[in-house]
A and B are shown apart, each in its own frame.
Chain A
Amino acid sequence: MRPHGIGFLRPAAFLAPVVLIFVSARAQSQDAAAFFKQNCTSCHTIGGGRLVGPDLKGVAQRQPDRKWLVDFISDPNSKLDAGDPYAAKLLGEARGARMNKVAGINQTIADSLLVLIDAESRLAKSQFAGTQISDRPFTGQDIANGRNIFLGQTRLAAGGAACVSCHSIVGLRSLGGGRLGPDLTKAFERLGGRKGLATWLSAPPTLTMNPVFRNTPLDANAEILPLVAFFQDAAQRGGVADTSTSMFNFLLLGLGGTVVLLILFDLFWLKRFRAVRKPMLLGLDVGGHK
């Protein structure tokens, strides 16, 4: 069965069988690579060691059941929920981090991904060996830069939304951050430390983050590195983002703002028409005829 929506297979229908095999194989490998880079590299490397998910080098040797692999890649939840023993083992290795179903995946793509992983596993140095981010120790400057990036005071080079729009983190003053996404104080630990977090940030895989950052990826050394430094710092400080005080501050700010606005309105329309007779009688006729 050839499902629709697989663009890279469509030209094949018009070509001779031999050409079909050749071309489709090439097209498949190219598109699979792009798909892998987009959706998988945040949790997996090929020969780069474990991130959140396992290193995929030689995955076919570790789990020879290709059907199982295809099924798991195209819908991890069904295997995980069904209590499959191998899936449970993987979940344990990942310290409980579940693999999400990738947006737009299906069995055909899963199959082509496996082909790609096989090919890449045979290379000495795979192109998916992990994000190349400097290993140098973090400085105070990195943390400060990361904070600025988080708060949006330094704009993301590619134009992505600043973290603070949706997330909060410990140590933010006054209003705190956004409430839409989770508190990121523990993100450093949750996403597997420096390397894992950095790779995760290079292509955020979750259903919410992926569409937001798909077209506006972060820069590896200028943005991801300081952010990771900042998150590490936050994780070391611990605690949770304080939401109660920021709620109160928000109320105060709203009230204060209203008062300031009303005063401004009154000043702006100071010469508006109010009343004539009463002020005249009381001698309060400002700018009147005396």
Chain B
Amino acid sequence: MDVRSQISMVFHLDKCIGCHTCSIACKNIWTDRKGTEYMWWNNVETKPGTGYPTKWEDQEKYRGGWELKGGKLSLKSTGRARIVPNIFHNPSLPSMDDYYEPWTYKYEDLFNAPEGPDQPTALPISMVTGKYMDVEAGPNWDDDLGGSPVYAENDPNLDGLTPEQRQQLFAIERLVFFYFPRICNHCLNPACVASCPSGALYKRGEDGIVLLDQKRCRAWRSCVAACPYKKTYFNWYTGKSEKCILCYPRLETGQAPACFHSCVGRIRYLGVLLYDAEMIETVGKTDDANLIDAHRSMILDPFNPKIIEAARKNGIHDSTIQAAQMSPVYKFVKVWKIALPPHIEFRTLPMLFYVPALSPVMASRTEDGILNSSEDLFHDVESSRVPLAYLAKLFGAGHDGKVRYALRKQKAVRMYRRMLTVGDVDRETVDRMLREADTTAEEAEMIYRLTSLCTFEDRFVIPPAHREEAIEMMKDPYEHKSSVGFGFLSAPKRGL
């Protein structure tokens, strides 16, 4: 057993209101520089929709992630045989059009325009060329199913849905969608790290954050092609790739990442998971049907004395183990099993998990009131407006079992709370629902509390970074602290 710690995340989609505050917080801190205009380390997509970059989930086109070939895991984009003939031009890169051409407006025209019969207008200017341009696409062009039906209809996850199920999604006046915020998943088997010819990408030992060394990057852009989530981006100005750094300077000082901190719907949870690094390859090779179970089995119980012992032996600090015991992510993923990894069939073993969104409740109104205690209590999970098959494509590697389980449990928690607060559901029905959803009243109460009443400390359990221990290896931490403070990788140059 090789116990390691990983800062992992849960996004509770049922709470996401699609306000893009996370995207803006991230953009303002990290990607407001020249060359990064088009980058959205955090973006929020409407599902069904094609996302950003367009159709990123279609790996037949983008060739991201891993594939299982003859019992071996290999990158779809860059095998040894593929990288040599493509060394000067990687064919699987999204073009600027597949992201979008970043633009601003010529605001000074609003003020400098001479007096005339028309209102002055500010025309869009490309932030790449500086010339006037026609805006044709943006990072959330299909937000709230806007733009054109083409985007939603081309969602790769709609593959394999029956025409009726599609109809269900797009029926007039019954349109349904949910939001899907995305950041780097800080995977356990990151394709970007594996693909980099320069060794510029690495997974940080102490907390598993995947980082890209700007000094080592040689602009091969293999990571851009290899990442199936398209979460590494090429800075056209510096000639280096960049990606989400999970705000590690904030984490090291005990603050939640900016997108987590600013989240209006409080959908984001962050905490430590202990996992067994020896299992990565075996899990990566598991067949699609068992992939989620295998992934969960890597995550270790932080209360088990044997695992604590093994973690200590691996140099994991007691404070980190404590944080793992309090981790909200551990509860969502491992205990309650209602958070699922996105597109785990890409086999990068993402460490960002999603609680799938319940569709709008479709109770039928009768003369006796609202009918919601039918024989089949989970009827609106099974025939929810967002078909299970669609969610299964996103969160279940095509198998809907795990998604159904997560939705039923959420549904049961709702009914349980409805019984307590509204009181129009009887105890017997709720008990049956809880039982059928594989949960108890106590667990339902805990899920409810962490979902709805969660405080800052409940949502973000950030282990101390212990930078002083890392610096101790190189110099006296007191001297370092007095000269530069902790958190800096290299001291500033002073004097002449």
Say whether B485 faces chain A, with CB atoms less than 8 Å apart: no
Pair A280/B150 contact, Cβ less than 8 Å: yes
Pair A277/B98 contact, Cβ less than 8 Å: yes
Say whether B54 faces chain A, with CB atoms less than 8 Å apart: yes
Give the CA-CA distance A277 to B60 in the complex, in Å: 14
Q: What is the CB-to-nearest-CB distance from A35 to chain B, in angstroms, rounded to a whole number?
A: 54
Knowing A285-B154, A289-B156, A290-B154, say if A276 contacts B93 (CB, 8 Å): no
Pair B97/A290 contact, Cβ less than 8 Å: no
**Chain A residues with Cβ under 8 A from B50's Cβ?**
277, 280
Say whether A287 faces chain B, with CB atoms less than 8 Å apart: yes
Say whether A272 faces chain B, with CB atoms less than 8 Å apart: yes
Give the CA-CA distance A240 to B449 in the complex, in Å: 100
Give the CA-CA distance A269 to B60 in the complex, in Å: 14
Give the CA-CA distance A272 to B93 in the complex, in Å: 11
**Chain B residues with Cβ under 8 A from A283's Cβ?**
150
Say whether B155 faces chain A, with CB atoms less than 8 Å apart: yes
Q: Mark B81-104, 1 if CB is under 8 A from A, else 0.
A: 000000000011111011000000
**Chain B residues with Cβ under 8 A from A289's Cβ?**
55, 58, 154-156, 158-159
Say whether B295 faces chain A, with CB atoms less than 8 Å apart: no
Question: Can you list 11 A-B contacts (CB < 8 A)?
Answer: A273-B91, A276-B54, A280-B55, A280-B154, A283-B150, A288-B58, A289-B55, A289-B58, A289-B154, A289-B158, A290-B154
Pair B97/A278 contact, Cβ less than 8 Å: yes
Say whether B61 faces chain A, with CB atoms less than 8 Å apart: yes
Q: What is the CB-to-nearest-CB distance from B310 to chain A, in angstroms, rounded to a whole number?
A: 44
Pair A276/B92 contact, Cβ less than 8 Å: no
Knowing A275-B97, A276-B55, say if A290 contacts B92 (CB, 8 Å): no
Q: Mark A254-290, 1 if CB is under 8 A from B, else 0.
A: 0000000000000001001101111011010101111
Say whether B396 faces chain A, with CB atoms less than 8 Å apart: no
User: Which residues of B49-82 are within 8 A (CB) of A?
Assistant: 50, 53-55, 58, 60-63
Pair A280/B54 contact, Cβ less than 8 Å: yes
**Chain A residues with Cβ under 8 A from B53's Cβ?**
276-277
Give the CA-CA distance A87 to B145 in the complex, in Å: 102
Pair B153/A277 contact, Cβ less than 8 Å: no
Pair B61/A273 contact, Cβ less than 8 Å: yes
Q: What is the CB-to-nearest-CB distance from B158 to chain A, in angstroms, rounded to a whole number?
A: 6
Q: Tally chain B residues at the interface, Cβ within 8 Å.
A: 25
Q: What is the CB-to-nearest-CB distance from B63 to chain A, in angstroms, rounded to a whole number?
A: 7
Using A277-B50, A280-B50 as known contacts, list a sample of 12 further A-B pairs with CB atoms less than 8 Å apart, ordered by residue number in A: A269-B91, A276-B54, A276-B94, A276-B98, A277-B54, A277-B137, A280-B54, A280-B55, A280-B150, A289-B58, A289-B155, A290-B153
Say whether B148 faces chain A, with CB atoms less than 8 Å apart: yes
Prevailing SS type, chain A contact patch: loop
Give the CA-CA distance A273 to B61 in the complex, in Å: 6
Pair B62/A288 contact, Cβ less than 8 Å: no
Give the CA-CA distance A289 to B53 in the complex, in Å: 16
Residue in A closest to B154 when the chains form the complex, CB atoms: A280
Contact of B62 among A273, A278, A285 (CB under 8 A): A273
Most buried by A among B50, B54, B155, B156: B54
Interface residues on A, range: 10 to 19
Pair B60/A287 contact, Cβ less than 8 Å: yes
**Chain B residues with Cβ under 8 A from A272's Cβ?**
91
B interface residues with partner A (beta carbon < 8 Å):
50, 53-55, 58, 60-63, 91-95, 97-98, 137, 148, 150, 153-156, 158-159
**Chain A residues with Cβ under 8 A from B98's Cβ?**
275-277
Knowing A273-B93, A276-B58, say if A281 contacts B63 (CB, 8 Å): no
**Chain A residues with Cβ under 8 A from B159's Cβ?**
289
Pair B150/A281 contact, Cβ less than 8 Å: yes
Q: What is the CB-to-nearest-CB distance from A185 to chain B, in angstroms, rounded to a whole number?
A: 47
**Chain B residues with Cβ under 8 A from A275's Cβ?**
95, 97-98
Give the CA-CA distance A273 to B97 in the complex, in Å: 13
Give the CA-CA distance A276 to B154 in the complex, in Å: 11
Residue in A closest to B54 when the chains form the complex, CB atoms: A277
Q: What is the CB-to-nearest-CB distance from A274 to chain B, in angstroms, rounded to a whole number?
A: 8
Give the CA-CA distance A205 to B50 in the complex, in Å: 77
Residue in A closest to B77 when the chains form the complex, CB atoms: A273
Closest 10 CB pairs of A and B: A277-B54, A276-B98, A276-B54, A273-B92, A273-B91, A276-B55, A289-B156, A277-B98, A280-B154, A272-B91
**Chain A residues with Cβ under 8 A from B153's Cβ?**
290
Give the CA-CA distance A278 to B54 in the complex, in Å: 10
Give the CA-CA distance A213 to B144 in the complex, in Å: 82
**Chain B residues with Cβ under 8 A from A280's Cβ?**
50, 54-55, 150, 154
**Chain A residues with Cβ under 8 A from B91's Cβ?**
269, 272-273
Give the CA-CA distance A47 to B91 in the complex, in Å: 76
**Chain B residues with Cβ under 8 A from A277's Cβ?**
50, 53-55, 97-98, 137
Residue in A closest to B148 when the chains form the complex, CB atoms: A281
Give the CA-CA distance A283 to B154 in the complex, in Å: 10
Q: What is the CB-to-nearest-CB distance from A278 to chain B, in angstroms, rounded to a whole number?
A: 6
Contact of A273 among B54, B63, B154, B158 (CB under 8 A): B63
**Chain B residues with Cβ under 8 A from A269's Cβ?**
91
Residue in B closest to A280 when the chains form the complex, CB atoms: B154
Q: Mark A190-212, 1 if CB is under 8 A from B, else 0.
A: 00000000000000000000000
Give the CA-CA distance A287 to B92 in the complex, in Å: 16
Residue in A closest to B141 when the chains form the complex, CB atoms: A277
**Chain B residues with Cβ under 8 A from A278's Cβ?**
97
Residue in A closest to B56 when the chains form the complex, CB atoms: A276
Give the CA-CA distance A280 to B141 in the complex, in Å: 14
Most buried by B among A272, A278, A280, A289: A289
Q: What is the CB-to-nearest-CB distance from B375 to chain A, in angstroms, rounded to a whole number?
A: 37
Give the CA-CA distance A239 to B120 in the complex, in Å: 80
Give the CA-CA distance A260 to B95 in the complex, in Å: 28
Give the CA-CA distance A206 to B137 in the complex, in Å: 74
**Chain A residues with Cβ under 8 A from B97's Cβ?**
275, 277-278
User: Which residues of A128-176 are within 8 A (CB) of B?
Assistant: none
Residue in B closest to A277 when the chains form the complex, CB atoms: B54
Residue in A closest to B53 when the chains form the complex, CB atoms: A276
Give the CA-CA distance A289 to B48 in the complex, in Å: 13
Q: What is the CB-to-nearest-CB distance from A123 to chain B, in angstroms, rounded to a whole number?
A: 69
**Chain A residues with Cβ under 8 A from B92's Cβ?**
273
**Chain B residues with Cβ under 8 A from A290's Cβ?**
153-154
Give the CA-CA distance A283 to B153 in the complex, in Å: 11
Give the CA-CA distance A281 to B137 in the complex, in Å: 11
Q: Mark A211-255, 1 if CB is under 8 A from B, else 0.
A: 000000000000000000000000000000000000000000000
**Chain A residues with Cβ under 8 A from B155's Cβ?**
289
Give the CA-CA distance A278 to B53 in the complex, in Å: 12
**Chain A residues with Cβ under 8 A from B94's Cβ?**
276
**Chain B residues with Cβ under 8 A from A281's Cβ?**
148, 150
Q: What is the CB-to-nearest-CB distance from B59 to chain A, in angstroms, rounded to a whole number?
A: 11
Residue in B closest to A269 when the chains form the complex, CB atoms: B91
